[in-house]
Amino acid sequence: MVWAQPIIFNLFIILTTSAPGQAASGLERMEESRKCMGTTLRLVVHAPTANAGRRALELAFARAEELNGILSDYQEQSELMRLCAKAGGPPTAVSRELFTVLESAQELARLSDGAFDVTIGPVTRLWRLARKSKRLPDQADLAAAKTLVGYRMVELTAQGRWVRLAKPEMRIDLGGIAKGFTADELLELLRKEGLPRSLVALGGDITCGDAPPGAKGWEVGIIPVPGEKGEPAKVFLQGRSISTSGDLEQFLEIEGRRYSHIVDARTGIGSTSQAMATVIAPRGIDADRLAKLGVLLPWEKAWAIVSRQSETRMRVVFPDGDGRIRMMADPGFPGQGRRSLP
């Protein structure tokens, strides 16, 4: 499908509303948003009482901050940064949370032949500075940073959860996977608090629990492709996660060329494809990490990896050589109108 339209992409629109059966269920819908992980964390719960809902929300926000203190590469005293400070030395024992994320990241790095690679930290640091200065990274600095990048230089030992970074000054950047994992952890916490009918949204990463009272799922509007007519496609999700990646908000534009904040670890260059990828998966960590492949790889290569994942669907929107917009989607991805995913 091709549209001859300007390349303008927007973020997801969450369309969750009070369902007709909510009052009869005796559950109270509660919602709150706070800043976390450099974006907005939005929680929606259906609780038996206001006190139960308030307690669960506070626990979830506290857990989010705890996870940020483990996985952040912005906080110098985070567990991740303490691990990076020991790069080049002996193996270090890490928490369950950090090991789980690194293990998942390494799996995808192998499958994508290094296109997705969390050791990209030294390079992404240069691109963050470039976005502030509006200048491309210095080529010599970029070349030096690239010598510190390579997923094969990360050694994981499951027994005891040991991690070793082979080269001094290596730096891990979990920006392409941490939010999805965090959403999974928060939803599990809310379930344990007796609130299975909950939703967690961290920026463009949304993880849905059981359906709201009287509804068949959490109603999510899919970003319309430029030029599409009618209402945006909608999907009802329960027990599923959905994530969008692309140069939607964070990018650098120099001399008419747009560089995404998503950096290809193989080249050290921010993606210039202007692609937008959306993935629906059973877990947030998978939706988050796999969506990056739709931006970093051609459709055929990305789909070859994504299609191996159970109950996972993907759509990628990108400009073709003629400046038109093309959409590629697997047959199971929700189309126009309303679709329900079990």
| pLDDT tens, residue by residue, 115-161 | 999 999 998 888 777 777 777 778 898 889 999 999 999 999 999 99
In the chain the domains, ranked by start, together with CATH numbers, are 79-165 (1.10.3980.10), 244-342 (3.10.520.10)
Whether this model's pTM surpasses 0.85:
yes
Q: What is the pLDDT of residues 247-260, one digit of tens each?
A: 544 445 555 555 55
Q: Compute the average pLDDT of residues 219-242.
A: 77
Burial class (CB in 10 A: 0-12, 13-18, 19+), 327: middle
Query: In angstroms, rounded to a whole number, what is the distance separating the alpha carbons of residues 165 and 284?
Result: 26
Contact 57, 29 (CB under 8 A): no
> What is the reported pLDDT for 12?
46
By mean pLDDT, which of 199-213, 285-299, 312-326 is the weakest? 312-326
Query: Is pLDDT at 9 greater than 50 in this prediction?
Result: no
SS3 of 57, please?
helix
Angle CA 122–164–264, to nearest 5: 35
Query: In angstroms, rounded to a whole number, what is the distance separating the alpha carbons of residues 203 and 243?
Result: 9
